[in-house]
Chains A and B, each alone.
Chain A
Amino acid sequence: MGLIQRTIEAKGIPTVGITLQKEVTEQVKPARALYLRYPFGHPLGEAFHVNQQRTILLEALKGLETIRNPGTILEPGYAWRRHRFD
């Protein structure tokens, strides 16, 4: 995914991606990422957990406005199935 992200960014559109594999993202180096230690298949969290999905999407999108250093990986640290999204 990071390779596609880099290609889009290089064409002139700012990008941010979710990553579930921090070490891969550190190697591939997309412009902006948000890392969650979640299982594969769950980049936005759990099914029908609207607050969780919205929070993750919003946090990632905010990175487009806040991240100043290329290659930044945000780590909100939402623990899988333990963090309360109110």
Chain B
Amino acid sequence: MGKLDDLKNTLLVQAFKHSPWLAERWARSHQFVEGKGIPWTPLRKPLRESCVAMVTTAGVHLKSQPPFNMEDPDGDATFRAFPTQVEKGDLTITHKYYDHSAADRDINVVLPVDRLQELKDKGIIGEIAPTLYSFMGHIDGPHLETLMEETAPEVADRLVREGAEAVFLTPT
């Protein structure tokens, strides 16, 4: 992506951050993948007995993992997996389509690892799933198919295998 595009993107990110109505207008003018029917699985037991997992599309990953691809205007449909008991200092965010300055200071703004641990300590949830999964939310064009056919099902299968009984998701 050229420098002019980068500048345009930076300006848009700030405009969207400070004017939620702009984002709403943008959403109205875009066609998103329309869901047909609504998949539904009821909670099988109370939260206090359930194992809760988290998935984010905020572009979080370990500093030691490869960053998400910011060069492709259609985004990056891959995901990063890392342990829930992660050192927060080991995390970083690669995502230029939103202002993550607050999340850079406190990851709980996009991925509430400390808050979830507190809920477990208080017995409000039963367990925390062992792995966190992270995508970057800006996915379009051919990568949508990769997401829907490959990477999202793979993460869902992993969550099932790891015993997740409820999943909390956060956007950018």
Contact = CB atoms under 8 A, between A and B. Distances in A.
A65 interface: yes
Measured as residues with beta carbon below 8 angstroms from the partner, the interface class of chain B is 35 or more
Interface stretch (B32-40, B62-70, B81-89): B32-40
Nearest to A16: B168
B132 interface: no
Interface in A27-77: 27-31, 37-48, 50, 53-54, 57-58, 60-62, 64-65, 70-71
B35 A40 contact: no
Contact of B169 (A5, A50, A71): A5
Interface residues of A, number: 54
Contact of B23 (A21, A58, A61): A21
Contact of A14 (B43, B118, B137): B43
B7 interface: no
A13 B115 contact: no
B109 A57 contact: no
B41 A31 contact: yes
B102 A41 contact: yes
Given A1-B169, A47-B109, 6 more contacts: A4-B169, A5-B167, A16-B167, A27-B35, A50-B108, A57-B116
14 contacts: A4-B147, A6-B35, A11-B159, A13-B41, A13-B159, A16-B166, A21-B171, A40-B99, A41-B103, A47-B102, A47-B103, A57-B119, A61-B47, A61-B125
